[in-house]
Amino acid sequence: MEQNMIYDVSYMEALKRGFKQYATFSGRASRSEFWRFMVSREIIINSIGVLSIIVDMIFGETSDISDYTIWLFIIMHLIYLMPTIAYSCRRLHDIGRSGMTLFMVLIPIVGFFVLLSDFVKQGYVSSNVYGERTSYVVVTPTEEEQIGIERTASLREDVTMGALAIILYIWVFVYDFIPAAWIAYNTSGLQ
């Protein structure tokens, strides 16, 4: 294999790249690299949200520990903000779109779905104005030992990690936001 060959990344490697290139808005990011970063991010952040829920159940919502876990949840969102924006720009570059396309998220509902459809598209197979192709070589368990890079996640692992991220997200949403919305609705007098 060539020395300069770029290998497909594991979840941990995608996280490392995200933080090493937290302010790199140039270049491209493959679909698998982007989604592995996003899924890892969601699992970590929502695990802290679930921890906050469990702490609330054990110690009550008014305890100091509960406040600390909520602050930890907020701080983690802020820590991941810049790498997420940078990765998103590089992902858009991979399909030939400008990073300014991220501003579409400001269009209610429609903007989110347009961006989501862009994020799942396959990147250009050749170079574009943003750089060279980002098609990566899969790392097998045998090559893992030879080159010192974690093996590429299998489809089963990708599906499992995605399902875990969705379950955690739904748990945090249902436990924290639905009751708060219901209380706000009932106290507003709009019954």
Query: What does the longest C-alpha to C-alpha distance in the chain come to?
Result: 68
| 53 C-beta neighbours (distance < 10 Å), count | 17
Using one digit for the tens of pLDDT, what is the confidence trace for 105-137? 999 989 989 999 999 888 887 788 888 877 666
Cβ 48 vs Cβ 76: under 8 Å: yes
| Regions of the chain short of the pLDDT cut 70 | 1-7, 61, 135-137, 176-178, 180-182, 185-186, 188-191
Assign 2 to helix, strand or coil: coil
Give tens-digit pLDDT for 8-17: 778 888 899 8
At residue 2, the pLDDT reads: 38
Counting runs of H as helices and runs of E as strands, what totals does the chain give?
7, 0
Percent residues over pLDDT 70 in the chain:
83
Nearest to 136 by CA among 145, 123, 148: 123
Q: Amino acid identity of 103?
A: F
The count of C-alpha atoms lying within 13 angstroms of the C-alpha of 2, restricted to the half-sphere facing its C-beta, is 6
